[in-house]
Amino acid sequence: MAPSTQLGGGGGQFGLLALALGGFGIGLTEFVIAGLLPQVSRGLDVSTAAAGWLISGYALTVAAGAIAVTAATAGRPQKPILVGLLALFVAGNLLCAIAPNYPTMLLGRVVAALCHGSFFGIGSLVARRLVPPERASRAVAMMFAGLTVANVLGVPFGALVGERWGWRATFWAITGIGSVALVAIAVLVPGWAGGTSGRADLRSQLRSFRSTQVWLTLTATALGYGGMFGAFSYLAYTFTEVTGFSATDVAWLLVVYGTGLVVGNIAGGRGADHNRDVTLLVSLTGLAATLTVFGLLASSRPASVILVFLLGAFGFATVPGMITRVTDAAGGVPLAASANVSASNVGNAVGAWLGGLAISAGWGYAAPLFVGAGIVGVGLGVMGWAARGSTDSARGGGGGAGGATGEAAEVQRS
């Protein structure tokens, strides 16, 4: 454990920036493909449906890989793991850049996805150690800032580079960003922040999942994400078929949504450090209300612009608090943080599936918004149940202090 004089110092801030850069690169890989699918489909001579597996295959690998990779690396120092994960990320994107055929391209996407969940899960624990305990959620938000900025820039970045130099150039660029992030983490993240936690062996980590609070938080995460991304998956159709925007308007509307993610991530981190459970309950309430009102006012252009921003803001405001909450409930083990990333991806898949069923049933392109509101409403109920049973809720939410203290105590006991 680092001396208190080191916590929050300049080295810690540089370490957080290095983690954020890694998150930015990984976020680009996740989001950029959406704007490149037509080019990739033509370049590799595959159908649009086959090209779509470059997105869904990535998401499924993230969900499974987050737990599998974290479990496989249990008991090892975390800084070298982060460096190794980024090496995997670079290799995957390099494969995509040079892929001579579709199977190689899909393999590259799977290899890159293997690092995603574990990087954010393990990285969130490392980020917490770089700051004083009362700033834990803000540190997590700082690391996720790279992901939110990538969401804003990913699709337009991929489309711009792809149009000018071809889709392979986009993956060469991401390979370069990943290489820089790898070096930055190796140099700037202090060794004491990336050491082995006190309960790093796999058996101890699995025992942490006996906690009801862990499962309640994971469930609330899946439902919150499922509601937001279930609606987000069909926003292009909502904007064009219900609101009346043109197809070319969708790009800047998604930038508005991405800007909401950035704002929500920052606000959620600050709020969670002040009162975590209240911040999560307010964010989920705001998200459910936004989805409901969006569904009612989807035909209004001005309202849709405001509401798509709020959708991103309330949706991502839950991220820092959920991660610190689940890791605190689990005693600071990496597997819990990675499981939170898996839960969010499972929620994404289920939410999109339910939204698609609503459209197929003939309920219209605004229906996923109402479906999402219902899913988030259930998540709000789960979060309320968790908050009532939480000991840190009785102390005012103590997102950062309580959790970091608990982890430190566990290290000392070990």
Give the pLDDT mean for 38-62.
Answer: 80
The CATH code for residues 1-196 is 1.20.1250.20
Return the residue matching tokens 């110092």.
9
| pLDDT number for residue 157 | 75
Q: What is the pLDDT of residues 116-125, one digit of tens each?
A: 888 988 888 8
| pLDDT number for residue 346 | 86
Every domain of the chain and the residues it spans = 1-196, 201-414
Give the pLDDT band of residue 350 (cuts 50, 70, 90).
confident
Give the percent of the chain with pLDDT over 70. 88
CA pair distance 296, 290, nearest whole angstrom:
10
SS3 of residue 2 by DSSP: coil
**DSSP state, residue 287:** H
**All residues at 6 or more sequence positions from 178 whose CB lies less than 8 Å from its CB, including other chains:** 22, 25, 26, 86, 89, 90, 93
Give the pLDDT mean for 97-107.
Answer: 94
CA pair distance 227, 73, nearest whole angstrom:
32
Question: Which residue did the predictor score with more confidence, 193 or 168?
Answer: 168
Q: What is the pLDDT of residues 399-414, one digit of tens each?
A: 443 343 344 333 333 3
The vertex-325 CA angle with 60 and 288, nearest 5°, equals 70
The answer to whether the beta carbons of residues 112 and 120 sit under 8 Å apart is no
The answer to whether the beta carbons of residues 313 and 258 sit under 8 Å apart is no
Return the residue matching tokens 């689990």.
330
pTM: 0.80
pLDDT surpassing 90 at residue 42:
no
Q: Which of 14-28, 279-293, 367-381 has the lowest mean pLDDT?
A: 14-28
Return the residue matching tokens 């990943």.
178
Residue 224 has a CB neighbour count (10 Å cut-off) of: 34
Same fold, 1-196 and 201-414: yes
**All residues at 6 or more sequence positions from 262 whose CB lies less than 8 Å from its CB, including other chains:** 145, 148, 149, 152, 316
The CATH code for residues 201-414 is 1.20.1250.20
**DSSP alpha helix (H) spans, 194-333:** 202-207, 212-232, 235-237, 249-296, 301-316, 319-329
pLDDT surpassing 80 at residue 363:
yes
| pLDDT number for residue 11 | 57
Q: Which of 278-282, 337-341, 381-385 has the lowest mean pLDDT?
A: 337-341
CA pair distance 367, 376, nearest whole angstrom:
14
Helices (H) and strands (E) in the chain, counts: 18, 0
Q: What is the pLDDT of residues 140-172, one digit of tens each?
A: 998 888 888 887 877 677 777 877 888 899 999
Return the residue matching tokens 């006012």.
297
Residue 395 has a CB neighbour count (10 Å cut-off) of: 11
Candidate ranges 91-105, 182-196, 227-241; pick with highest mean pLDDT = 91-105
Q: What is the pLDDT of residues 209-257, one digit of tens each?
A: 889 999 999 999 999 999 998 888 788 889 999 999 987 888 788 889 9
pLDDT surpassing 50 at residue 49:
yes
Question: Which residue did the predictor score with more confidence, 334 or 82?
Answer: 82
| pLDDT number for residue 394 | 45
CA pair distance 285, 198, nearest whole angstrom:
36
